[in-house]
Amino acid sequence: MKTTINLCIAVLLMSPSETQKLDYPKAKVSYSDFEELVKEVKSHREERLLSLSQFMDKCNEDNVIILDTRSKEMFDKKHIEGALHLNFSDFSVSNLAKIIPNKKTTILIYCNNNFNGDEIHFMSKTVRLPPSEEEKKKTRSLALNVPTYINLYGYGYENIYELDELISFFDQSIKYEGTSLNQ
């Protein structure tokens, strides 16, 4: 017991520089790899942006899934009928393989910024940039579609299509499901 107390006191009395001498390897993060992937994905994505009618037509084809990568809470409350869920932060080789085992599967994606008129379930990611008067007029669209597309492609899923229109919540061509509709 006395030895344990002495050890604790010795650690507490060490200077910060002595306790910070641990040498850790670099994190498993490469911004340059990400930049290269973004360059590769850019032209691929440009050819796979769909209007609502094209998106809905693709839903009726074989070997197609609709993937919703928003939070589980928002997905459970409301999502496009038939969509599968995988939170973006849970993307991994094994998690993706569980819901999309065949990399040739057609994957349709959408996010909050595709819907207008339901800020509760599809919150916009658009932000205003405040510093100057000129910049106050600008907005920056931050959407889950783009990182979802990039990451799916990076994981080897190349048959991805993205909804490219802003859809009114009141458009009857889209059917929704979720707990908020059952109330």
The pTM score is: 0.78
pLDDT at 114 (0 to 100): 81
pLDDT at 74 (0 to 100): 92
Strands 167-168 and 64-68: unpaired
Comparison of pLDDT for 156 and 182, the residue scoring more: 156
Which segment of 1-5, 18-22, 116-120 scores lowest on mean pLDDT? 1-5
Q: Is residue 113 part of a domain?
A: yes
Q: Is residue 165 part of a domain?
A: yes
Q: Is residue 62 part of a domain?
A: yes
Spatial distance between the Cα atoms of 66 and 105, rounded to a whole number of angstroms: 10
pLDDT at 24 (0 to 100): 87
Each residue of 25-49: pLDDT tens digit?
888 889 999 999 999 999 999 999 9
Q: Is residue 85 part of a domain?
A: yes
Residue 54, C-beta contacts closer than 8 angstroms, at least 6 positions apart: 161
pLDDT at 55 (0 to 100): 96
- By residue range, what is the domain housing residue 43? 29-169
Q: Is residue 2 part of a domain?
A: no
pLDDT at 26 (0 to 100): 87
Domain count, the chain: 1
**Band of the pLDDT at 136, cuts 50, 70, 90?**
low
DSSP-derived secondary structure letter, 134: H
Each residue of 13-25: pLDDT tens digit?
665 555 566 888 8
**CA dist 34 → 148, 151, 154 (Å):** 13, 9, 9
**CA dist 68 → 6, 31, 94 (Å):** 55, 25, 17
Beta strands in the chain (DSSP E): 49-50, 64-68, 79-80, 84-85, 106-109, 115-116, 126-128, 139-141, 160-163, 167-168, 176-177
Q: Is residue 14 part of a domain?
A: no
Specify the residue for token string 């994606």.
Answer: 109
Q: What is the 3-state secondary structure (H, E, C) of 12-63?
A: HHCCHHHHCCCCCCCCCCCHHHHHHHHHHHHHHHHCCEECHHHHHHHHCCCC
**Band of the pLDDT at 1, cuts 50, 70, 90?**
low
Quick one: average pLDDT of 78-98? Answer: 96
pLDDT at 29 (0 to 100): 87
Quick one: average pLDDT of 10-14? Answer: 60
Q: Is residue 99 part of a domain?
A: yes
Q: Is residue 40 part of a domain?
A: yes
Quick one: average pLDDT of 95-107? Answer: 98
Write the CATH number for 68. 3.40.250.10
